[in-house]
Amino acid sequence: MKLISNRALREFAEQHPPAGQALQGWRQVIEKNHFANWADLKKAFNSVDKVRDKTIFDIGGNKYRIIAHIRFEKQILYVKAVLTHEDYAKDDWK
């Protein structure tokens, strides 16, 4: 699957250095796999959830969230936001 954009992950990690390794590990799993559908994604990421048309990944032991939009048919994942658990809980991202 193609990830758009790693830049969002890098910029978040600059602000939150402990997140860097977990975010890049997640990116590697995304980029090295083909996810045909939601069930395939759920097999790889047990803690992934759907909120309306967005996919929410828990990263780094539930410390961070990646909000993404996935086009399974085109094998593209768009990173919409990377947030701390605190910022995610504020619901501002919705």
Helix intervals (H) in 1-94: 6-15, 20-31, 38-44, 85-89
Task: Please report the pLDDT score of residue 91 as a whole number.
Answer: 67
Task: Please report the pLDDT score of residue 86 as a whole number.
Answer: 87
Q: pLDDT in tens for each of the 94 residues of the chain?
A: 999 989 999 999 999 999 999 999 999 999 999 999 999 999 999 989 999 899 999 999 989 999 999 999 999 999 999 999 888 888 665 5
Residue 31 sits at the vertex; the CA angle it makes with 7 and 26, to the nearest 5 degrees, is 70
Residue 6 sits at the vertex; the CA angle it makes with 76 and 61, to the nearest 5 degrees, is 95
Question: Chain-centre distance of CA 4, in angstroms?
Answer: 11
Domains in the chain and their CATH numbers?
Answer: 2-89 (3.30.2310.20)
Task: Please report the pLDDT score of residue 85 as a whole number.
Answer: 87
